[in-house]
């Protein structure tokens, strides 16, 4: 299936030309003018999606070939999947809402038409010589039709209310899925994807100094081996919590991957190095009570590499330099901060 987007932002004159081309094709095939069908045939005459055009012409070659289910599924395939984020649940929900609304709208329109007819008949009867029986019958019919139109309207209102509740649910679901896509599920801080965006943004916003801290827990494999993987997870959560506490307008913290974390600080190198030292101290002073035991785990340490972006440095280059600083911190004995400044380099601790 193609991922190319459909374009509906045309000049008014162009879009009315397209519509003029689309409508006769629909009329020839007796295709009802529902929003789905307009969208499909409009896209067909735009001639931008050969796959859609091929499917439409094959499925609806002429009068009598129209099948609302086929039309609905083409709409789903070509529009909903292209426009909505990759959440099949959200896509299905939206299609259900659209289907339900389209049905109610046409039902309500039919009801209004029938009511109009009934009014017209009644007026004609009233113009004829007075016949109280016929007038009574006509008025009775009009009252019944009014009642059934009211029913239809209230049904339509209920369906609209249900649909807007569904839309609100869909919106929430989409927001949640967008949130999930940017938050690390274990530590609940930003994940690598959100970090990449934040770093790109910090570097392109220009004026202020941007520093990067890369942090890696020391001998974490040993920690997992000694205390178990679940305890390892808990330590990661706690370290994530320490970082989150330090987050402010000038600091963005993220889980970089595995047992590595990253902090983007809108600060010059010296201030970023101080921040790194504060984090290192906090981690080193952690004492974690093991569940169901008196044992307290300590000695968790972290190595940190700190760099400041230079000129128009790219995110990749900044990360690479922070990584060099971090591995220097590991080489020099761990539990330390190494600041890489160019051309001079220095090491704290």
Ligand X SMILES: Nc1nc2c(ncn2[C@@H]2O[C@H](COP(=O)(O)OP(=O)(O)OP(=O)(O)O)[C@@H](O)[C@H]2O)c(=O)[nH]1
Q: Of all residues in this chain, which one has the CB nearest to ligand X in the complex?
A: 232
Q: What is the 3-state secondary structure (H, E, C) of the chain?
A: CCCCCCCCCCCHHHHHHHHHHHHHHHHHCCCCCCHHHHHHHHHHHHCCCHHHHHHHHHHCCCCCCCCHHHHHHHHHHHHHHHHCCCCHHHHHHHHHHHHHHHHHHHHHHHHHHHHHHHHHHHHHHHHCCCCHHHHHHHHHHHHHHHHHHHHHHHHHHHHHHHHHHHHHHHHHHHHHHHHHCCECCCCCCECHHHHHHHHHHHHHCCCCCCEEEEEEECCHHHHHHHHCHHHHHHHHHHHHHHHHHHCECCEEEEEEECCEEEEEECCCHHHHHHHHHHHHHHHHCCCEECCCCCCEECCCCEEEEEEECCCCCCHHHHHHHHHHHHHHHHHCCCCCEEEECCCCCEECC
Q: Is the distance from CB of 325 to CB of 305 less than 8 angstroms?
A: yes
CB atoms within 10 A of CB 111: 19
Give the shortest CB-296-to-ligand X separation in angstroms: 19
Give the shortest CB-247-to-ligand X separation in angstroms: 20
Separation between Cα atoms, residue 144 and residue 135, nearest integer Å: 14
Give the shortest CB-104-to-ligand X separation in angstroms: 49
> Looking at beta carbons only, is 259 or 308 nearer to ligand X?
259
> Looking at beta carbons only, is 116 or 258 nearer to ligand X?
258
> Looking at beta carbons only, is 107 or 182 nearer to ligand X?
182
Active-site residue numbers? 259
> Looking at beta carbons only, is 71 or 303 nearer to ligand X?
303
Give the shortest CB-172-to-ligand X separation in angstroms: 28
Give the shortest CB-260-to-ligand X separation in angstroms: 8
Residue written as token pair 């001639």:
47
User: By the criterion CB under 6 A, which residues form the site for ligand X?
Assistant: 186, 216-222, 224, 229, 232-233, 236, 258-259, 330, 334
Give the shortest CB-233-to-ligand X separation in angstroms: 5
> Looking at beta carbons only, is 219 or 282 nearer to ligand X?
219
For residue 345, the cross-strand partners are: none
> Looking at beta carbons only, is 111 or 232 nearer to ligand X?
232
Give the shortest CB-302-to-ligand X separation in angstroms: 9
Q: Which of 185, 190, 102, 112 shows the shortest CA–CA distance to 145?
A: 112
> Looking at beta carbons only, is 128 or 222 nearer to ligand X?
222
């Amino acid at each position: 299936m193609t991922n190319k987007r459909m374009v509906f932002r045309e000049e008014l004159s162009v879009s009315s030309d397209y519509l003029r081309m689309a409508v006769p094709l629909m009329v020839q095939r007796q295709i009802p003018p529902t929003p789905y069908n307009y969208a499909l045939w409009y896209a067909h005459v735009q001639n931008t999606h050969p796959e859609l055009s091929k499917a439409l012409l094959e499925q609806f070659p002429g009068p009598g070939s129209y099948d609302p289910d086929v039309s609905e599924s083409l709409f789903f395939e070509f529009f909903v999947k292209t426009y909505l984020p990759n959440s099949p649940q959200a896509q299905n929900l939206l299609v259900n809402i659209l289907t339900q609304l389209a049905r109610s709208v046409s039902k309500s329109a039919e009801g209004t038409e029938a009511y109009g007819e009934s009014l017209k008949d009644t007026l004609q009867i009233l113009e004829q010589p007075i016949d109280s029986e016929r007038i009574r019958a006509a008025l009775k019919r009009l009252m019944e039709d009014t009642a059934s139109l009211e029913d239809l309207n209230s049904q339509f209102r209920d369906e609209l209310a249900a649909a807007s509740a569904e839309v609100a649910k869909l919106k929430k679901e989409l927001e949640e899925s967008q949130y999930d896509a940017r938050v690390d599920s274990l530590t609940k801080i930003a994940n690598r994807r959100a970090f990449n965006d934040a770093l790109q943004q910090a570097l392109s916003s220009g004026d202020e100094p941007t520093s990067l801290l890369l942090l890696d827990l020391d001998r974490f494999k040993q920690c997992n081996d000694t205390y178990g993987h679940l305890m390892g997870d808990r330590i990661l959560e706690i370290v994530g919590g320490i970082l989150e506490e330090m987050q402010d307008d000038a600091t963005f913290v993220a889980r970089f991957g595995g047992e590595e974390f990253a902090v983007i600080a809108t600060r010059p190198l010296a201030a970023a190095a101080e921040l790194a030292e504060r984090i290192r101290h906090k981690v080193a002073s952690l004492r974690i009570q093991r569940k169901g035991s008196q044992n307290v785990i300590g000695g968790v340490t972290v190595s940190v590499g700190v760099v400041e972006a230079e000129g128009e440095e790219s995110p990749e280059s900044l990360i690479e330099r922070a990584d060099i600083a971090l591995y220097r911190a590991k080489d020099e004995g761990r539990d330390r901060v190494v600041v890489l400044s160019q051309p001079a380099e220095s090491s704290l601790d």
